[in-house]
A and B are shown apart, each in its own frame.
Chain A
Amino acid sequence: MALPDLSRRQLLGAVGVGAGGLALSACGGGSLGGDDDDNGGGGGSDGPIRVGLVIPQAGVYTPLGVDMEAGWQLWLDQHDGQIGGRDVETVTADEGEGPDTGVPAIQQLISDVDVVVGIVNSATALGVAELFAEEQKVLLIGNAGAVALTGDASNEYVWRVSFNNAQNSYAMGEYLAGQDIGSVFIICPDYAAGQENITAFTEAFEAGGGTIAGTALTPFGTTQDFQPFLSQIQGSGAAATFCFYSGGEAVTFVNQYDDFGLKASIPLYGSGFLTEGSVLEGQGPSAVGIRTTMQYSTELDNEANAEFVQAYEEANGSLPTVFAMSMFDAANVLDRAVTEAGDVSGDALVEALGGLGAIDDSPRGSWEFEDQNPKQTIYLREVVDEGGTLINSVVEELGEYGTI
């Protein structure tokens, strides 16, 4: 590949210009400035608030990111784009699929904003938690469920508006134990969230007098064929199955569970993510009758939820998901905290968040912070076919669950 002289020179010129431009755009004051660098948006008590919205825009979690952004945007649209009476500039950052892209994205974002909301991946959230303490800025987690985030690895600047991995499974464990359903087989993907679900379910179920028929851990994200595990369930003599799957794995598992003929003989129970959002379409009739536990359903009968579902459908043409609801609530919580604090500095917000009390206009029903994590009602839901659309109808309230 011989390049002619002219194009060679042009090429070098282009490379030089590109590098120079990058260098120029990167220059700005030096990183040894100390105090001068804290130019994180508004900072003071007037002017716009800069909020970093961290969501997955590439990779397998992209659908969650779309829902989360829609929920956040809906709240802003309903409130003239203002939080705490001040304009909001949302700076969206792509966290990608895992912490290898998520952590650097947030490291870069944090100096540029007053507060950060979002984050799907638990490892990413755990990886940046300490950074928020150092920068003294508030992180409102909109999804990531690792128990440690508001437990062992917590600090006063990291708050969560979504759930922790133990809540849904613990509630299901208590419920099934109370039903005297017999022994239960547990199947979960083999990664941190799966294990946290198993631990919580087992603890609650056994405390209520239930017995575990067996436990299977499936390779996370790579299991295409669940048949070996399904025969294990069949041979275990279990009266019911409890599982925790989401996304593509939820579709595959539910369909194969039905195809294998287990659905009628060994009813399937799960954490709500099993039948949440777009996976329901992929599961189709196989999902009907599955019971799950979750802090939210579009079918909840309260005024805030009716308004939320209607507005969301008008804006996006689809039913909201728990992910959208979480970010809708994140905006609501932030609005209350900024109004209360009159300031967006980390310490002022932390104090305000601690004194918020009940969030009584949430679509999920009233909830409050307990140890920086929601103490909220968990609902038992069942998938029903309503005129061709699959929905998670609410069977009953299982009570309030906080930090377990």
Chain B
Amino acid sequence: MLNNETLELHKFMQTRRTLFCYSGPLSEDLLTSISNPVRQQLSDVDSTDVVAKRVFGVFVEQAQNIIRYATLRSPETGDGVGTIAISQTDEEGFLIEAVNAIDSNKRTALENTLLELSMKDAGELRKMYKERLRSGPPEGSKGAGLGFIEMARRVQRFEFEVTDTEEGPVFVYRGYVS
């Protein structure tokens, strides 16, 4: 066997039905470059335009979270480092996943925000999005502070977790779109 890990990686991705996966420094330039292949993959598999657009929308917000907020940065470019993937599932359509290191000071606020969002229904999320749009971004936000609300509106459901590692807390987000 040349290298067992390589074959395992291949098998793992295939079994998981992963259409796209990237792990490393992420920039807006890179997001531009990968947008078309990601969309191509989505239209190649059996998905309606509406679902493909929702998946892509969640993917963009996740990517921009990594670009803006990942605390692990590339020493060469300063770009945020993270992992982002889109896979197909048997029962729940597409799974869009993102992982990145976060600031331990922001951990509680992030967990509270997502917990709150996970308990809202579509109407409440829509209202929240509008209110945030009117009030402007919260302190510390580099975007409009709307990203997680936007994602919550596009997914059927999402899961999140902050896990402790030797390098600090790591944020895991999983959103299902069907």
- A and B pair up: no
A residues at B contact (CB < 8 Å): none
